[in-house]
Amino acid sequence: MPDFDLAIVGSGFGGSLLAMIARRLDLRVVLIERGRHPRFAIGESASPLAGILIEQLADRYDLPRVRPLSAYGTWQRTYPHVGCGLKRGFTYFRHDQGRRYCTAPDRANQLLVAASPDDERSDTHWLRSDVDHFLVQEAIPLGAEYVDETALDGLDREDGVTVHGARGGRPVRVSARFVVDASGPRGFLSRALHIGNRGFAGYPPTQALFSHFTGVARCDEMPDYAGGPSGPPYPIDDAALHHVFDGGWMWVLRFGNGVTSAGIAVTDALAADLQLADGASAWARFLARYPSIAAQFAQAEPTREFTWMPRLAWRAEVAAGEGWAMLPSAAAFVDPLFSTGIPLTLLGVERTARILEERSTPNSQLPTPKNRERLGVGDWGLGVSAWREYSNATLAEADHTADFIAGCYAALSRFDEFAAYSMFYFAAASFAEMTRRRGPAPACTRFLASDDEALAAATRALSPARATCTLNAVAAAVAHRNIAGLCDPAKRNWYPFVDAMLDPA
């Protein structure tokens, strides 16, 4: 018998949540962490879909202590010590180099899309050092074995899977029926199995520079961003706030403890111009180009060293094989422009959980006792069509997301096209959220409606990387999923929350 049924490499939120679910399925689980909690992690902005997935996973697998993380109100009441931020929507401001930002009379240089009706039901930003630490501490009492500060360097696949490495200078070997990689892009399985980076066709090479800060001013308190006599659909800073400019964009995510996550993602050409590898001095050079962004950060102080990522995008050649699988966060990474990372990972957790559920319980039900002894390694291997489907779905969603983001990068200098093309995301996301509220989605449902052939084809055809994208053309393409009142010129790029997104009736 292997030591464990399931070995999970990486104890971020995806790995820890999967460990909890596996324990509810009565599987023997080990959670292996290279570092030590609490530790810094990027990928901090969730979405309404992520909140719904947390609710549904918590309900299906009896995880009541996880469920409050699904919305800002319940999170704050239940776990005020776990850092998060209020995210009422998505805010975008278009900037020109050397000029202060000034709201255009028709708001053509900004885009605000509400994601929730109020603070209570709002989406959140996750202070990952807190959230990841909280979740791993929840997994341990449920019976997950946790081993940290363990550097794995390889695996063997004979009569199961054995991962090996070292902890504190001493060798470590752990055998399991199945291994899940939750360690992030270019992670353990990619290295151990020599899985190459296939990349994304037509995607621009991009880099990132980021840190956490205190003292970041609010845009709604700066005259540059005044929007006229009528108020916006939500406080513009209580959102995933994006500053958009030629060659890239900046995120500004506020947590409730006074810390703000901020960073820039830029093309290689702009990164070379800024000398992005220089860190703090490159950040200063960037701020010097955009006066209104510089004013927002005039009193800001970094709380940690800057992190430079010389390459953002990653796409593994395959996401599952004999005795192993990668969560989406390990299989691929695109760009955080539309907060896609957390919901994609949660979709992967949901799919993985369903497969484990089928493999570990009779008739796909949840009751105990389980029949572990009757399950051989091959039952969980690539021979099971579910793992092939998992790999295909995971990588197809990454490809579709990358193609969409590539179109957005192509339109950064043409903000009217950027705003129009973004409606593909908001229409697909809001429709998915509404249908999820009716009940768990079928397993075949894919992220951003990538399994809707007509909509996916229109997303490709109208990409600003390939053609001129107009609001009218996008409106026609998304009409059958547009429950949020999008693509309406009369709203002048301000889209408030509509009740249809909560109550489909």
Domain boundaries, the chain: 4-81+127-198+315-411, 84-123+204-309
Q: What is the pLDDT of residue 231?
A: 87
Residue with tokens 């703000």: 260
Q: Which pTM value belongs to this model?
A: 0.94
Closest-CA residue to 471 (of 32, 108, 181): 108
352-377, pLDDT tens digit by residue? 999 998 876 544 343 333 444 433 43
CA distances in angstroms from 32 to 8, 146, 307, 354, listed in the order given: 6, 6, 24, 22
More confident residue, 230 or 412: 412
Q: What is the CATH number of domain 4-81+127-198+315-411?
A: 3.50.50.60
Q: Which residue has the tokens 């399950």?
A: 375
The residue type found at 190 is S
Render pLDDT for 191-222 as a digit per residue (tens, 0 to 9).
Answer: 999 999 999 999 999 999 999 999 999 999 99
Distinct helix (H) and strand (E) counts, the chain: 14, 21
Phi, psi of 214 (to 5 degrees): -115, 160
First to last CA, the chain: 52
Report the distance separating Cα 162 and Cα 7, nearest Å. Answer: 9
pLDDT at 174 over 70: yes
User: Per the structure block, which two tokens stand in for 276?
Assistant: 């992005």
- Could you report the per-residue pLDDT of 36-50, keeping only the tens digit for each? 999 999 999 999 999
Separation CA 198–CA 204 (nearest Å): 14
Average pLDDT estimate for 278-297: 98
What's the CATH fold of domain 84-123+204-309?
D-Amino Acid Oxidase; Chain A, domain 2 (3.30.9)
Q: Evaluate whether 4-81+127-198+315-411 and 84-123+204-309 have a shared fold.
A: no
pLDDT band of 442, cuts 50, 70, 90: low
Residue 311, token pair as written in the block: 């390459």
Mean pLDDT of 392-406: 97
DSSP string, 120-170: TT-EEEE-HHHHHHHHHHHHTTTT-EEE-SEEEEEEE-SSSEEEEEEETTE
